[in-house]
Amino acid sequence: QVHVVESGGGSVQAGESLRLTCKVSGDTSGRSYCMGWFRQAPGKEREAVAAIDSDGWIDYKDYVKGRFTVSKDNGKNTLYLQMNSLKPEDSAMYYCAAKAGRLGGYRHNFYAYDYSGQGTQVTVSS
């Protein structure tokens, strides 16, 4: 069994920063994971934010490029999302997802992942 837990969300003003953390634990021995961040605002569909594939390939959606940075500590199976210059439209529940192996072109597809967490709330006020 694999568990995914997000943390680091909070309430900030526009222009401020937050760092989200995603920890994957459980039966993860010997596997490298594709891990991604997704978000969902009330009344909107879930959307991809950024992902790091098992081979290290990093991919961002256009609306966060230049402001968000995703990184991974493979030894700790931990994914980070540094979010700078936050905007009110970044407000959402942020979810982390993980899948053993490489996803390639599917890394921004939430349903391609096997595991995800309960999410951490990010609220940005103007």
pLDDT of residue 27: 80
Q: Are 60 and 39 in contact (CB under 8 A)?
A: no
Please, are residues 36 and 48 in contact by the beta-carbon 8 Å criterion?
A: yes
* Nearest-angstrom CA–CA distance, 116 and 37: 10
What is the C-alpha to C-alpha distance for residues 40 and 43, in angstroms, rounded to an integer? Answer: 8
- At a CB cut-off of 8 Å and minimum separation 6, what does 60 contact? 49, 50, 68, 70
Model pLDDT for residues 1-40, shown as the tens digit of each residue: 899 999 999 999 999 999 999 999 888 777 889 999 999 9
Tell me how crowded residue 27 is: count the other CB atoms within 10 A of its CB: 10
Tracing tokens 């256009």 back to the chain, one arrives at 62
Rounded Cα gap, residues 7 and 52, in angstroms: 18
Count Cα neighbours of 9 within 13 Å in the Cβ-side half-sphere. Answer: 20
- Kindly report, residue by residue over 62-104, the tens digit of the pLDDT: 999 999 999 998 888 899 999 999 999 999 999 999 999 999 9
Beta bridge partners of 99: 34
Compute the distance between CA of residue 61 and CA of residue 68 in angstroms, rounded to an integer: 10
